[in-house]
């Protein structure tokens, strides 16, 4: 079918229709930035052809050169057959207006915390300019650490991950944003390498996928590092450790913000006396909690 396409498709409109058909036929999963086969096809085609990602209409009837057609069909074939997330094919992912380099050493950035940082965590952080120290725990590609630095311009930020390979990606992204003087890259298993460090704000998007959910993940997620997804039998292994250790790494008025996927009910059952504040996101109030230092379990 792809060989036939090389001789029978001519315009971007032709290739777009072909891509959407192949993506739907293959039953691809769209959970890494795009919401549908159409959106993902548009993104991959425009990116491959070095066209503006927000300008499809003017180019729909443009004819492709033989070389361009081969490049576009190649990336469509890889997405269809190998089920590689689009971000790994383009080496690019976005959180709002912020773009990041990504590859298979890190999970594809996706976090409700990114939404919350756009408003600088107001009203929970009353004076954003007073945040002088912040931590992004389980930083992966460094995306949330970079958003932290932009949201709180007076803060020094530590970006921490257990994975040396992930931190190589984080360093590249930090350098791309010229934030080497404000973001410290630290290899550590959660708080283990942060002795003596205390922060006004700690955020974390840790691994939170349960064993049962890991076994049922779509094939696209199999391309991501397991240790950035899996968190024990119930998905709360990393979150439990964070809750037990965070108080000793927060300033007196410091606060902790953690994303936990679909684990709200399980977390509240595991910590029935902890007064979690659940923050409103575009998907509801079940995914990100906030705790002040004096509310953490002892």
pLDDT tens for each residue of 176-187: 999 999 999 999
Q: What residue ranges define each of the domains in the chain, with the CATH number in brackets?
A: 2-90 (1.10.8), 105-295 (3.40.50.150)
Alpha-carbon torsion, ordered 40, 45, 47, 53, to 10 deg: -70
Mean pLDDT score, 270-291: 96
| 151 pLDDT more than 90 | yes
Pairing relationship of beta strands 288-292 and 250-259 according to DSSP bridges: antiparallel
Q: What is the reported pLDDT for 236?
A: 97
Please tell me the predicted confidence (pLDDT) of residue 2.
Answer: 84
Polymer length of the chain: 298
Is residue 4's pLDDT more than 90?
no
Q: What is this structure's pTM?
A: 0.94
């Amino acid at each position: 079918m792809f060989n036939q396409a090389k001789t029978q498709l001519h315009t971007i409109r032709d290739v777009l229709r072909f891509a959407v058909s192949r993506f739907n036929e293959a039953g691809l999963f769209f959970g890494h930035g795009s919401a549908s086969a159409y959106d993902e096809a548009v993104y991959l085609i425009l990116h491959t052809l070095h066209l503006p990602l927000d300008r499809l209409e003017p180019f729909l009837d443009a004819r492709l050169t033989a070389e361009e057609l081969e490049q576009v069909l190649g990336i469509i074939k890889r997405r269809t057959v190998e089920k590689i997330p689009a971000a790994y094919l383009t080496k690019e992912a976005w959180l709002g207006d912020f773009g990041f380099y990504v590859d298979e050493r890190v999970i594809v950035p996706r976090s409700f915390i990114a939404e919350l940082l756009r408003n600088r965590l107001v009203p929970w952080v009353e004076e954003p300019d007073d945040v002088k120290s912040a931590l992004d725990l389980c930083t992966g590609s460094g995306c949330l650490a970079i958003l932290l630095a932009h949201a709180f311009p007076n803060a020094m930020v530590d970006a921490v991950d257990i994975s040396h390979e992930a931190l190589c990606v984080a360093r590249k992204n930090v350098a791309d944003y010229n934030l080497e003087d404000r973001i410290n890259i630290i290899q550590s298993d959660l708080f283990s390498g942060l002795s003596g460090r205390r922060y006004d704000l700690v955020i974390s998007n840790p691994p939170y996928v349960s064993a049962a959910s890991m076994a049922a993940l779509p094939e696209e997620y199999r391309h991501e590092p397991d240790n950035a997804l899996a968190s024990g039998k119930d998905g709360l292994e990393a979150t439990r450790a964070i809750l037990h250790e965070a108080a000793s790494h927060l300033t007196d008025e410091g606060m902790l913000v953690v994303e936990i996927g679909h684990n709200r009910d399980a977390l509240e059952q595991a910590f029935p006396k902890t007064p979690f504040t659940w923050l409103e996101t575009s998907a509801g109030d079940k995914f990100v909690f906030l705790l002040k230092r004096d509310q953490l379990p002892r």
